[in-house]
Amino acid sequence: MFANDKKHLIDNSIDGFHTESRSAWKKNGRNNFIKTLLTICIASCLGALGTWFALGYWDIQDQKTHTDLPSTVTAQPHVQQTGQTIKQAPQCSQTPASSRVDCWPQYVGANQQTCEEKGCCWLPAGTSTRRLGDVPYCFYPSNYQGYKVDSVTKTASGYQATLHLSGPSTWPNDVQNVNVDVTFQSPTTVRVKIYDPATQRYEVPIKTNATKTPGMTDYDVAISPQGTDFTITITRKSTGTVIFSNANSAPLVFADQFLQFGTQLSSAYLYGLGEHRAPFLISTNWSKRGFWSRDQPPTLDANLYGVHPFYLNVEDHKNTHGVFLVNSNAMEIEVSPQPALAYRTTGGILDFYIFTGPSPDSVIQQYTGLIGRPFMPPYWALGFHLCRWGYGGVDPLKAVIKRMRDAKMPYDTQWNDIDYMRDHLDWTYDADGKYKGLPDVVADLHNNGQHYIMIIDPGISNSQPAGSYPPYDDGLKKGIFIMNTDDSGPIIGKVWPGTTAFPDFFHPNATAYWTYHANSYHNIVPFDGIWIDMNEPSNFVQGSTSGCPKNDLENPPFVPPVILGQSLSDKTLCASAKQAISTHYNLHSLYGHSEAIATKMALDSIKQKRSIVISRSTYPTSGVHTGHWLGDNNAQWPDMYYSIPGIMNFNLFGIPLVGADICGFNGDTNPELCARWMQLGAFYPFMRNHNTIGAKDQDPASFDTTTQNIMRDALNLRYTLLPYLYTLFYISHVYGTPVVRPIFFSYPESENNVTYSVDTQFMWGDSLLITPTTSQNTLKGQGYLPKDRWYDWFNHSYIDSTGYLGDFDLPMEHINLQVRGGSIIPLQAPEVTTTLSRKNPFSLLATLTPGGASQGMLYWDDGESLDSITSSAYNLIYFRIVKHVLTSTVALPGYHGEAMTLGQVTVLGVEIAPTSVTINGQVKTTDYNYSNKALQIYNLSLDLLKPININWTV
């Protein structure tokens, strides 16, 4: 218990005294009032005194022997007199509507009798059927009796509490005794693991980098005293802010197939909890989100392809913390106005990691430090990618490649969707049909410095003649397919090639199997990366071609009603299907993740250099192995907007290589929408234009000349910025910070907290602010310019913003791009491929602060070696401007594969025209623009691996 809770109950005791005294006056009259009042006073005061003792108001403080560990409060031993818990009448009227916790989350079947039989409160708000987003009408009473504390013990790295259940939860198979392990993982990370000590339950099999070396911690942990209802509270030491606490939240329930836990939120500024289509700021108005990987095109508030039970929460003092629940079972998370959050999941354990930040960037660093840093992509992967479903064969594909080249569109990678395959069979192409000659197309791409990627689905056809399709025959022989519940054979579903079996990527032989067949195909068609789709896994029949058995896994007592589909097997495999390490019931949402790991390992083995995997389904730690695209969107303006929250969320989730299908996948696009989308897509970390079969062509070269010019300019802008983007990916890979970030990551201080709700703008690192338009016929739009100095990318003018919220110019010819004062951005002149652009000299764009300073860095390597960073085979160069002097420092000169030449420097914000400029001591002729105060130094040929000193005198 905590001070506020104690005060609340003491106040209730006093309120009870006032209520009873008023009642006594009415019943007994004036003459008997004083006598009655004295009686009530004695009883109430003694009751309050007892409450103080029961709540540990005078708890004995545990004398800490480790002063660097957070404190907790323990009470004197509690003696149960009878071993029985006395049931109390539910206290319902004292629970405000905003603080209610749903006691009937399944929605159907509730009435007053069934609700009250659960020991819950029934106060319907004028309706007998609750809808999503409504205040719960069947809710937990304030005196709900769940788990009580038996003991709290200090351990070498934290605490362990033992709990017992004081009354049934009414969910089947309650776990009577539960342990809570609190582990101080680091000064900024604490783990809270709630589990059954008597039974080994499923735990998520992901690799984490957990440590147990806390030292001094940023947090305090308090566990309620022995004999009281279990509560745990984690507070930030520096401010006293509660960042994680189940007090006054959803009570702990730990049954076999229903687990519940609630926590208070520090504010309504809540982010993450994916994968969902929604605004970036999560609504706290009784919003619910489902977590169960599903083949579901992006739909508002539906559970989509991946599962990421991680959130970021801003506190009143502008500090930020994060919480990650390691659980992969079907789950819902409800956010209520209190604000509070309730987890409900169908299995596993409750395993929380809490990250104290305190900055948003540091929260993500701590999170990716646990789940693994994002992989470093090859340089070419940051170029422009082009795809469509339904090219119609090699000849139309060649025509698209040619017109893109003729139009001189920057363009690095050509993709193929499923129509390239023979009968949709993995690891084949239609060699005797429309795609005859595909290997020659790939060879031509390679000869032009371009790359090739194709789609692979997990479903392996089982209907080919015996001996004719090695991927099935070999998989059957090795026993690597997911099995039926009764072990009678592989579970059979239906996808594009017809009936299919599904590799179990948790099987110890699965990666070798996958690598063998990928390599066999690579020997025929030398692809450069792999796109893995349909890996939720998707299934065109429910469960299997023969249905699913009737058991508790197929029909659990609770299926989150916010999960689309009428059962867990809807559009996927039977929940009770068997995998090597557990059931599909537990592992379903990890299927795409496990495939991504196997695919990345296969590519590393085959290519022996960096490549990319792009996966539709993801889970925490996937970013170590794969990138992601946001799925089958529509060629509509709202889809363009929702891509911005989508890419910001996946950067929170540790998957920075993310983008959306530019111009839209489903339906026909139009020139304005596609041009605007290409401008926005130029700032997706992963930039791919992709559309569906039967739709109009939407590759940039297919449009009219005016639209082509707009798109080419957008592509040239991206390619100019690639050295900066590549450096951001290096920083993300080494330090774990996002590449794309919301404005409040850099500007938490803003009037009326305006930055916390902005999701139509975003930043690349700390230096570039991108303001696209996502509306038709719009040349001006609302935006926010944080308090700082900002330079317009195109005209080099600057403004010292005081925190501007208003109209931005959004001209049709280019996107609105601002550069933060104090930045030095490395650039290269664009070419039609990254292969060519990498050969150009570098340039620097420096934007000065009002004080005349700026800084930046450049990471550079060969763009593809697997071990560039681990073997220090790269160059890392820092740039700085102080008092009219630009200097460079070569922190690491580890790569010498090509010359790194600085050809030009542009310095913006030079208030007074220089009288002279010297470069490494030699006088240089330069240009100075008086109108926009820009100093341009050109025709340079400076070796970037040697220190540079540029000095201008004013």
Q: How far is Cα 371 from Cα 624, in angstroms, rounded to an integer?
A: 8
CB crowding 376-404: b at 16 or more within 10 Å, else e: bbbbbbbbbbbbbbebebbeebeebbeeb
- Residue 699 annotated in active site: no
Q: How far is Cα 890 from Cα 860, in angstroms, rounded to an integer?
A: 12
Q: Given its phi and psi angles, is residue 423 left (phi above 0), alpha (psi -120 to 50 degrees) or beta?
A: left
CB crowding 131-144: b at 16 or more within 10 Å, else e: eeeebbbbbbbbeb
Lowest-pLDDT range, 102-116, 285-299, 471-485?
102-116
Place of tokens 């220190």: 947
Q: How far is Cα 203 from Cα 214, in angstroms, rounded to an integer?
A: 24
pLDDT of residue 791: 98
Pairing of strands 901-908, 842-847: parallel
Dihedral Cα 454, 459, 461, 466, nearest 10 deg? 100
Q: pLDDT tens for residues 768-815?
A: 999 999 999 999 999 999 999 999 999 999 999 999 999 999 999 999
pLDDT of residue 134: 81
Region 897-913: mean pLDDT is 96
According to DSSP, residue 622 is labeled: G
On whether the CB atoms of residues 652 and 312 are closer than 8 A, the answer is yes
Confidence of residue 548 (pLDDT cuts 50, 70, 90): very high
Share of the chain above pLDDT 70, in %: 90
Region 660-689: mean pLDDT is 98
| Residues whose CB is less than 8 angstroms from the CB of residue 947 and which lie 6 or more positions away in sequence, other chains included | 887, 888, 889, 890
CA distances from 382 to 456, 607, 685, 810 (A): 21, 18, 7, 25
DSSP string computed for 835-892: HHHTTSPEEEEEE--TTS-EEEEEEE--S--TTTTTTT-SEEEEEEEETTEEEEEEEE
According to DSSP, residue 158 is labeled: E
CA distances from 677 to 382, 644, 662 (A): 17, 11, 6
Among the listed residues 825, 855, 847, 849, the one whose alpha carbon sits nearest the alpha carbon of residue 935: 847
Q: Give me the catalytic one of 536, 632, 713, 759.
A: 536
pLDDT of residue 484: 98
3-state secondary structure 348-376: CCEEEEEECCCCHHHHHHHHHHHHCCCCC
| Residues whose CB is less than 8 angstroms from the CB of residue 654 and which lie 6 or more positions away in sequence, other chains included | 364, 367, 368, 371, 372, 373, 374, 620, 621, 622, 623, 624, 736
pLDDT of residue 752: 87
pLDDT of residue 125: 60
Share of the chain above pLDDT 90, in %: 84
Average pLDDT of every residue of the chain: 90
pLDDT of residue 50: 34
Residue 571 has pLDDT above 50, yes or no: yes
How far does CA 465 lie from the centroid of its chain? 43
Q: pLDDT tens for residues 226-261?
A: 999 999 999 999 999 999 999 999 999 999 999 999
Which helix or strand (DSSP H or E) is residue 264 part of?
Answer: strand 259-264
Q: Give me the catalytic one of 334, 419, 533, 861.
A: 533
Region 264-270: mean pLDDT is 97
Q: pLDDT tens for residues 301-327?
A: 899 999 999 999 999 889 999 999 999
pLDDT of residue 317: 86
Q: pLDDT tens for residues 176-233?
A: 999 999 999 999 999 999 999 999 999 999 999 988 878 899 999 999 999 999 999 9
Q: pLDDT tens for residues 861-870?
A: 999 999 999 9
How many residues can be counted in the chain?
954
Confidence of residue 409 (pLDDT cuts 50, 70, 90): very high
CA distances from 130 to 38, 111, 171, 287, 525 (A): 46, 11, 20, 13, 56
Lowest-pLDDT range, 117-131, 808-822, 833-847?
117-131
Q: pLDDT tens for residues 43-94?
A: 333 333 333 333 332 232 232 323 333 433 333 233 333 334 455 678 887 7
Q: pLDDT tens for residues 353-374?
A: 999 999 999 999 999 999 999 9
Region 401-427: mean pLDDT is 98
Q: How far is Cα 813 from Cα 676, in angstroms, rounded to an integer?
A: 9
Place of tokens 């509660």: 242
Region 573-581: mean pLDDT is 98
pLDDT of residue 42: 34
pLDDT of residue 65: 29
pLDDT of residue 847: 98
Cβ count within 10 A of residue 79: 6
Phi, psi dihedrals of residue 923, rounded to the nearest 5°: -70, 140
Q: How far is Cα 806 from Cα 793, in angstroms, rounded to an integer?
A: 19
Amino acid at 657: L
46-50: list long-range contacts, CB under 8 Å, 24+ apart.
47/13, 47/16, 48/10, 48/13, 48/14
pLDDT of residue 131: 57
- Residue 533 annotated in active site: yes
Among the listed residues 506, 680, 687, 517, the one whose alpha carbon sits nearest the alpha carbon of residue 589: 506
pLDDT of residue 123: 85
Residue 817 has pLDDT above 70, yes or no: yes
How far does CA 628 lie from the centroid of its chain? 11
On whether the CB atoms of residues 480 and 512 are closer than 8 A, the answer is no
Confidence of residue 627 (pLDDT cuts 50, 70, 90): very high
pLDDT of residue 211: 82
pLDDT of residue 33: 36
Lowest-pLDDT range, 122-136, 557-571, 877-891?
122-136
Residue 559 has pLDDT above 50, yes or no: yes
By the 10 Å C-beta count (0-12 exposed, 13-18 middle, 19+ buried), 869 is classed as: middle
